[in-house]
């Protein structure tokens, strides 16, 4: 499936859109990490939870669980919130 990568993580993929597979977000992120080592740790913390500054969208709907099921035709977008002052 197609995965859209946020600009701050482009140093891992060198591409805005990449292909990955998995039956859940957990599996998808594992596949992304196999292809682009270190990427998963930037979006998932040490307790296997979504980092607070990351948002995950599947087919334009925000999802909140890593167990969310995926289909091969799905579109996944990773969004990294920006902060500053």
Sheet containing strand 54-58, edge to edge, reads 17-19, 2-4, 75-80, 54-58, 61-63
pLDDT at position 81 is 82
Which tens digits make up the pLDDT trace of 27-69? 999 999 999 999 999 999 999 999 999 999 999 999 999 999 9
Main-chain dihedrals φ then ψ at residue 38, nearest 5 degrees: 95, -20
Check if CATH label 3.10.20.30 holds for domain 2-80: yes
Strand partners for 63:
56
Instruction: Supply the pTM of this predicted model.
Output: 0.90
DSSP state letters, 20-53: ---SBHHHHHHHHHHHSTTHHHHHB-TTS-B-TT
Q: What is the DSSP letter of 6?
A: P
Q: For the chain, how big is the Rg over CA atoms in Å?
A: 12
């Amino acid at each position: 499936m197609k995965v859209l990568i946020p600009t701050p993580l482009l140093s891992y993929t060198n591409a805005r859109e990449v292909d990955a597979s998995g039956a859940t977000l957990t599996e998808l992120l594992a596949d992304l990490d196999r292809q682009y080592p270190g990427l998963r740790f930037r979006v998932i913390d040490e307790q296997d939870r979504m980092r607070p500054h990351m948002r995950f969208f599947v087919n334009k709907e925000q999802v909140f669980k890593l167990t969310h099921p995926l289909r091969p035709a799905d579109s996944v977008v990773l969004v990294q919130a920006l902060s500053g002052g």
